[in-house]
Amino acid sequence: MANLSKLVFLPTLVAALFSYIATPLVIKFAKKIGIIDDPKKKKDPKVIHDKPTPRGGGLAIFIGVFIAALIFLPLDKHLVGILAGATAAVLIGILDDKYDLNPYVRLLAGLAIAAIPIAAGIGISFITNPLTGQLIDLSHPRIVFELLGDTKSIWLLSDIFALFWLVFLMNMLNMGAKGVDGQLTGTVIIAAIVIAILSLKFSADVTQWPITILASITAGAYLGFLPWHIYPQKIMPSYGGAILAGFLLGVLSILSTTKVGTLFVVLGVPLVDTGYTIVRRVISGKSPVWGDTGHLHHKLLKAGLNKKQVAYFYWGASLLLGITALYLNSSYKLYTIIGTVVALGGLLLWLTKKTK
């Protein structure tokens, strides 16, 4: 019980408290620097809120993560890399809130953000083949070199895979998980809790404790933000809050024994929805990175659900998939992902026909 309190309850509570307290201060800051999303001034078809709303919620979430991490985690090179990447994500988010950065500029920035923890030594050394259950070694080939008197090495496949995974998650959550009030926040809380629960299975190994703590901190920071983001939202997480979520969850999935498959299952609905959206845009000759009203949450709203119900749908689906992921091996994770792709594809086709 003492370990549970140390690994889960206290980090969650502290992160939630600082995130909650920071949010009204961030709202004032957003108003002061003019990062207010006014749907009357910004005629964007994907915008669904109907009154001026502060942006920049990612900053409040970051404050909760940053302070709790410094309190509960050892300040080693991995944590420095994680916090540096998180800082960069939030700064890019604020710049986007202020200047509406071009999506391709944001993509390049995302690559730079993802490279920071990888440079600190965080990478995916192996993945499990879901068809055979065998491990695929990503630690070779390596490039070894001398830098400032120290021997350094770059694990090519490991680093490339980790870079792709982090950028993928950051963009997928931004595109497919932050449509309505509370949608992103609740989904991230559930995903972080699932990672924390799975990592607790290895709590006898003290090297796994920082992962459990960071997952708890992530859940807590978004939990503290939730009262301000749930319908009717007082502030939006915006781009910074979404890519911060993808960044932290991606790093956690790399560091923990849960790996990428589990996170893909838990986040199945927003990830698959975004995948369908990208394919649809490309087929229709449009850029895959420019927003439109074809996401699942748009179609659910058109079908008659209100914003609360859409958020609850995403939370419920993530919770169901998260509970399922707790009991799946690699092969069954693959089958669950395929099932989610098929089920969500059918739902999107039905909703498209229904809302024409």
Question: If DSSP states are collapsed to H, E and C, what string results for 156-175?
Answer: HHHHHHHHHHHHHHHHHHHH
Residue 148: pLDDT band with limits 50, 70, 90 = low
Backbone φ and ψ for 349, nearest 5 degrees, come out as -65, -45
CA 218 to chain centre: 10
* Predicted pLDDT at 284: 84
More confident residue, 89 or 330: 89
Which of left, alpha, beta for 4 (phi over 0: left; psi -120 to 50: alpha)? Answer: alpha
Distances 52 to 34, 37, 47, 99 between C-alpha atoms, Å: 11, 5, 11, 17
Residues in the chain: 356
Judge residue 179's burial from the number of C-beta atoms within 10 Å of its C-beta, 0-12 exposed, 13-18 middle, 19 or more buried.
buried
pTM of the model: 0.93
Q: What is the rounded radius of gyration, in angstroms, for the C-alpha atoms of the chain? A: 20
pLDDT score for 45: 57
d(CA 183, CA 180): 6
Q: What pLDDT score was predicted for residue 61?
A: 98
The whole-number pLDDT of residue 205 equals 64
Residue 127 has what pLDDT? 76
Q: Is the pLDDT of residue 89 over 70?
A: yes
Measured distance CA(1)–CA(203) in Å, rounded: 12
Residue 322 pLDDT greater than 90, yes or no: yes
* pLDDT (mean) for 52-62: 96
Q: Where are the domains of the chain?
A: 2-354
User: What confidence score (pLDDT) does residue 261 get?
Assistant: 84
Q: What does the DSSP 8-state code read for residue 207?
A: G
Cβ–Cβ < 8 Å for 121, 78? yes
> Is a pLDDT exceeding 80 seen at residue 293?
no
Q: Which strand (E) or helix (H) includes residue 153?
A: strand 150-155
Dihedral over Cα of 173, 9, 261, 91: its sign: positive
Q: Which residues contact 271 (CB under 8 A, 6 or more apart)?
A: 172, 176, 264
Mean of the per-residue pLDDT values of the chain: 88
Question: Could you write out the DSSP letters of every residue in 241-275?
Answer: HHHHHHHHHHHHHHHSTTHHHHHHHHTHHHHHHHH
Q: Are 184 and 237 in contact (CB under 8 A)?
A: yes
Dihedral (Cα; 227, 81, 98, 164), 10-degree rounding: -90
pLDDT over 80 (residue 280):
yes
Segment 197-253, tens digit of pLDDT = 888 876 656 767 899 999 999 999 999 999 999 999 999 999 999 999 999 999 999
What count of other Cβ atoms lies within 10 Å of the Cβ of residue 132?
10
Tokens 């419920």 identify what position? 316
pLDDT of residue 190: 97
pLDDT tier at 81, thresholds 50, 70, 90: very high
CB 272, CB 295: distance < 8 Å = no
What's the CA gap between 318 and 315, in Å, rounded?
5
